[in-house]
């Protein structure tokens, strides 16, 4: 039987989602906990990769097990897992459900702020030039992206990616409180490092380190930007995975 598992995690101590030999990852921690609880080797398939240090408010994965899930399964699974990984739901799915391939879209949020805070500095990027950021300029830079479906300029080099096509349908900046901004971006898929590079591009445009014409030229020619900025991972969150209503 195939089960979907909905979880959240703080990515600070992990080298991303995907299992890597000798490194702590969310996938390996979850598989170890499920193997203990189910008393058989369990492999988990995630909805996609998140890079080292990136968080997930909502993440979907699936696994197979030949038994019914007991009512206290989530409680016991959370008791085994470390405190920075939390399971919200485990539910029975159709046998052909696939957490990655059946996902219609993924939404990320990036948080930045302009003041020192012991409460958010580790979970939001503090930028020294925050007062110079202009919300109109930030949004103008983000709006350019809606005109394109290939995003080579926003994929890290040597990533091994051959297909740069992305169907992006949301790229929005907003002020969430005084001294804090949030960037939300949604697409069917994301290239490796794409969200942090896109967010950095918007900031560079707002700070007059890049022009809108330079961004358009790079996108038209599918070449790297003359000045790239990849923001730190700790301000980035995966926040939503969309599936068809019947899944």
Question: Look-up: residue for tokens 């046998």?
Answer: 95
**Six-digit token string for 174:** 């907003």
- Pick the catalytic residue from 51, 64, 143, 147: 51
Give the 3-state secondary structure of the chain: CEEEEEEEECHHHCCCCCCECCECCHHHHHHHHHHHHHCCCCCEEECCCCCCCCEEEEEEEEEECCCCCCCCHHHHHHHHCCCCEEEEEEEEECCCCCCCCCCCEEEEEEEEECCCCCCCCCCCEECCCHHHCCHHHHHHHHHHHHHCCECHHHCCCCCCCCCCECCEEEEEEEEEECCEEEEEEEECCCCCCHHHHHHHHHHHHHCCCCCHHHHHHHHHHCCCCCCCCCCCHHHEEEEEEECCCCC
- Please choose, from the candidates 198, 189, 187, 191, the residue with its C-alpha nearest in 3D space to the C-alpha of residue 138: 198
Does the active-site annotation cover 96? no
Is the separation of the CB atoms in 199 and 124 below 8 Å? no
CB 34 within 8 A of CB 81: no
Yes or no: say if 181 and 135 are a contact pair by the CB < 8 Å rule: yes
Q: Which residues are catalytic?
A: 51
């Amino acid at each position: 039987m195939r089960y979907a598992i909905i979880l959240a995690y703080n990515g600070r101590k992990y080298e991303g989602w995907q299992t890597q030999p000798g490194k702590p990852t969310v996938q390996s921690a979850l598989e170890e906990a499920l193997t203990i609880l189910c008393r058989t080797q369990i492999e988990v398939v995630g909805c996609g990769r998140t890079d080292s240090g990136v968080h997930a408010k909502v993440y979907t994965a699936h696994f197979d097990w030949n038994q019914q899930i007991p009512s206290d399964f989530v409680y016991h699974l959370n008791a085994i897992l470390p405190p920075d990984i939390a399971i919200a739901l485990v539910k029975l799915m159709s046998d052909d459900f696939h957490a990655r391939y059946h996902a219609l879209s993924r939404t990320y949020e990036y948080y930045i702020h302009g003041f020192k805070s012991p409460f958010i500095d580790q979970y939001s990027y503090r930028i020294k030039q925050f007062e110079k950021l202009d919300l109109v300029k930030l949004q103008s830079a983000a709006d350019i992206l809606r005109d394109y479906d290939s995003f080579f300029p926003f994929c890290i080099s040597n990533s091994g990616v051959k297909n740069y096509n992305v169907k992006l349908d949301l790229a929005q900046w907003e002020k969430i409180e005084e001294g804090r901004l949030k960037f939300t971006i949604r697409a069917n898929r994301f290239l490796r490092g794409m969200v942090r590079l896109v967010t950095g591009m918007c900031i560079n445009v707002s700070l007059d380190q890049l022009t809108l014409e330079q961004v358009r030229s790079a996108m038209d020619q599918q070449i790297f930007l003359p000045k790239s900025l990849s923001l730190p991972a700790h301000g980035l969150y995966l926040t939503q995975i969309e599936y068809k209503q019947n899944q």
